[in-house]
Structure 1
Amino acid sequence: MFEHEQTGHDLPHLQRVVLLAQKIVLTEPTADQFIVEASAWLHDTYDDKLVANQLIAKQRVGAFLTTIKVPLAQQKVIFAIIDNMSWSKMLTQQAKSLDINGKIVQDADRLDAIGAIGIARTIMYGVKHNTPLYDQTIRPRQEMDKQTYRQTTNTTIINHFDEKLLKIKDHLNTQYAQQVGQDRHQVMLTYLAAFKQEWQLAEL
């Protein structure tokens, strides 16, 4: 499914999210490792920004889980995590509370959206959607709903840092993720300062 994905939601992204989730699980003794890992692997399989028909894609995931004999009770838990963990879902104010398993997967996914790799993924996504890199006359959007957030017009790739990425560190759940998030947040701040300095040719 992710073989030709070019927006930063590719197989390496999934692998990193799984690895991060595995690290966080070790610090959260009440978590269910299978639920966490399954949700981490599957969290983008029916994301509405990646698939043409979200319902059909979700049904395929359910059929797959049934084929490998994952009980329906566990499937419901996995789907509940995937359905409620995204940043865009939070913007709808309809996201249901996540249990510790969901919080771990959400943290792992959000950590991969920030830091050095997060910077690269942001540029990948913007280029794929023909979003301009930077324009000083276009200000970051404020108080967005999901529809506005998903629009790639009237914004820039660099604006995405103010619109989402720099906010992530304050929306991490676990202590492990919060510690990692602080370092990755600083990487982005350093990058943005250098980017804007070079854009203005201030160093010359």
Structure 2
Amino acid sequence: MLEDIRKEAEAMLAGRDPGHDMAHIERVYAVAEQIGREEGADLEILLASALLHDLVVHPKGSKERSRSADDSAELAEKMLLTRGWEKDRVDRVAYCIRSHSYSKNVSPATLEARVLQDADRLDALGAVGIARTFSVGGSEMRRFYNPEDPFCLTDREPEDRKWTLDHFKAKLLRLEDTMHTASAKKMAHERTRFMEAFLSQLEKEISHSP
């Protein structure tokens, strides 16, 4: 059943930007499975949610952006009901998908939803998170950083719709504190330290320090 869902999701995501493509789905799936096994989650619910959580991703500046998770959940419901899933299990998958979104600022009520949220946020951290951030920034034609204050060291508020580097302060460096599970907290700590090392090196390079 999950392999069938994976194939349909892969077809739907063909041509998607690298920040939200099938490779992202597979990474979230793998981390969710690892954490889910450790936490005793219902793996069928969790992994179906991981495969289907980003079926719809509206552009960052779009008025529909906040509906991405809801629209993904609605598509997932149709796909699973067509496959004969019981309504209560479909509802559990849809809840995971709806509540994973960072912009909704939801603390999920179910274990499976908490694990999915952790796994999705972990993919925004570390080396992959850095790559995804600049990939999305480039696709939306944003400049790397504000040349006058690249790291928001003054009273300037981060503007991540204008400067890609501002996204680190606006969101990414805060994700570690939002993790629910012990495994995710450990991984988030390691990945966040890596990002901080990257920012330190970047500061040296763009300030022409030795």
Aligned twin of 1:36: 46
Is the Cα–Cα contact under 8 Å of residues 76 and 94 in structure 2 kept in the other structure?
no
In the alignment, which residue of structure 2 is the partner of 1:14?
25
Name the residue aligned to 2:190: 183
Q: How many corresponding residue pairs?
A: 189
1:127 to 135, 138, 146: 138
RMSD: 2.3
Quick one: structure 1 residues 158 and 111, their matched pair in 2 at CA, closer, same or farther if it must change by over 3 Å?
A: same
With normalisation by structure 2, the TM-score equals: 0.82
TM-aligned CA distance change 1:172 to 1:56, over 3 Å: closer
Q: How far apart are residue 168 of structure 1 and its match? A: 0.5
Q: Distance in 1 between matches of 2:144 and 2:19?
A: 16
Amino acid at match of 1:19: A
For residue 180 of structure 2, give the secondary structure of its aligned residue in structure 1.
Answer: coil
Cα gap change, 1:20/1:58 in structure 2, threshold over 3 Å: closer, same or farther? closer
Unaligned runs of 5+ in 1: 143-148
- Identity among equivalent positions (%) equals 29
Amino acid at match of 1:156: W
Work out the CA distance in 2 between the residues paired with 1:39 and 1:56: 13
DSSP-derived class of the 1:113 partner: coil
Q: Separation in 2 of the partners of 1:121 and 1:56?
A: 22
Higher relative contact order (CA 8 A, sep 6+): 1
| Residue 170 (structure 1) aligned with residue 177 (structure 2) | yes
The alpha-carbon deviation at position 61 of structure 1 amounts to: 2.7
Which consecutive residues of structure 2, in runs of 5 or more, have no partner in the other structure?
1-11
